[in-house]
Structure 1
Amino acid sequence: MARSYSSLKKILKKKLKTQSFIWRKKILHDYALGIDIEESNDEERRAEIEKLRKRREERAVRKAQRDEEAEALACAQKDCSEPESEEEEEDREEEDAEEVKLLESQSHDEYRARKPKYTNRIHTGYVWNKYNSTHYDHDNPPPKFVQGYKFDIFYPDLVDNTKVPTYTLEKDKDSNNGETCIIKFHAGLPYEDIAFRIVNDDWDYSHKNGFKCTFEGGILHLFFNFKRLVYRR
């Protein structure tokens, strides 16, 4: 029974799959050059084994390096240093005690009652009314009088920053005719109240004429001028 070409091709493929591949041309070439096939195979195996051995050694070295780095990192995180001796522990305790005393003294000084720092400026000037214009001139000016004040009170270390410092006006007991009064500033701990004697006159609360009362950056600003009386017929 005649078989078709396709069936013969399938049978040949099955036989080729079952048979092991032999590189005949390479074998004949090596034989012509006088190379022993078994020795060449042994050399190739030894070279392959040597490569594998080197790879294993390199992997072992890299693993050891990674382990050392991991151990060093763990030591740094856990602070695994050598145990201290008794003398070192005593020295450390003394240093800690000194630091605690220093912090306590600093906190005590910080909250110790004290007066705040301040700057005070007095605004003075001339009044050229009819009397002064008659009896004085620019070469011989009249006496100056107080026209206003500027206060800058510094409160940088307030315990309660939510409370704004305040001021109050009180009577001056030492003033018989009431020409002066007392302005007192109050802020709270750790600052004491501070007071000044000023001229007792009516304030001009207009911002256009220089009035200012603000608390910013730990500084209380209070600027004010007195009212000017204008003579009218």
Structure 2
Amino acid sequence: MGELEKEEEMIKGESKKGMGENEEKFNEEVNLDKKYAWNNKYKPRKPKYFNRVHTGYEWNKYNQTHYDHDNPPPKTVQGYKFNIFYPDLIDKSKAPGFKIQKTDNPDVCILRFVAGPPYEDIAFKIVNREWEHSHKKGFKCTFERGIFHLWVNFKRMRYRR
């Protein structure tokens, strides 16, 4: 099986899982200009990915008084599911990782995925909110069978008097 066939098979497997009720496909990639030390040894290429953004309504006190189910409030981003495919990593003992970079806009940040040869770094612009790191609340950061999973939900803002 060729390299592209493996990646296409992984993408098909992930897309067969389908979208949740409040999920949409997410592929707003950020361009990165970077030279790699291993450029002359391996041909760098971008990894394939299948990402989702989880949206929903925030029924806080303000929205409860001004909206109802017939006239709902605007949807907000509540989390992301990143599935990045690295089937041909040279050093399989070193798992891919991610870094969060600040931008000029305080409402967004750049989430950068770093793996190693032969893959280039890949980055996405996401909402800059605090993450829920509890496994029970949906956080997942694993690398298994050539797929790096990063599933993140944002903390909910609770209003108090």
Query: Which range, TM-score by smaller chain?
Result: 0.7 to 0.9
Mapping for residues 207-218 of structure 1, pairs under 5 Å: 207-218=135-146
Identity of aligned residues (%): 68
* Letter paired with 2:84: I
Mapping for residues 179-218 of structure 1, pairs under 5 Å: 179-218=107-146
Find the counterpart in structure 2 of residue 167 from structure 1.
98
Regions of 4+ moved over 6 Å: none
Structure-1 separation of matches of 2:126 and 2:113: 13
Segments of 5+ residues of structure 2 without an aligned counterpart are: 1-41
Partner of 1:139: helix, strand, or coil? coil
Q: Pick the structure with more strand per residue.
A: 2
Structure-1 separation of matches of 2:154 and 2:117: 32
| 2:87 aligned to which of 150, 156, 160 | 156
* Letter paired with 1:154: F
Find the counterpart in structure 2 of residue 18 from structure 1.
none
Structure-1 separation of matches of 2:99 and 2:60: 32
Structure-1 separation of matches of 2:122 and 2:68: 40
Find the counterpart in structure 1 of residue 147 from structure 2.
219
State TM-score, norm by structure 1: 0.51
State TM-score, norm by structure 2: 0.72
Higher RCO, 1 or 2 (CA under 8 Å, sep at least 6)?
2
CA RMSD of aligned residues (A): 1.3
* Letter paired with 2:147: I
Partner of 2:63: helix, strand, or coil? helix
Deviation at 1:120, TM superposition (A): 1.1
Higher-Rg structure is: 1
| 2:61 aligned to which of 130, 134, 142 | 130
Partner of 1:158: helix, strand, or coil? coil
Structure-2 separation of matches of 1:229 and 1:131: 12
Deviations 1:31-51 (A, max 9, x none): xxxxxxxxxxxxxxxxxxxxx
Find the counterpart in structure 2 of residue 147 from structure 1.
78
Deviations 1:159-178 (A, max 9, x none): 111111010000123x2xx0
Q: Pick the structure with more helix per residue.
A: 1
Mapping for residues 26-45 of structure 1, pairs under 5 Å: none
* Letter paired with 1:149: Y
Structure-1 separation of matches of 2:58 and 2:97: 32
Partner of 1:201: helix, strand, or coil? coil
Deviation at 1:135, TM superposition (A): 1.3
Partner of 2:65: helix, strand, or coil? helix
Deviation at 1:232, TM superposition (A): 2.5
Deviations 1:49-69 (A, max 9, x none): xxxxxxxxxxxxxxxxxxxxx
Deviation at 1:129, TM superposition (A): 1.4
Deviation at 1:112, TM superposition (A): 1.7
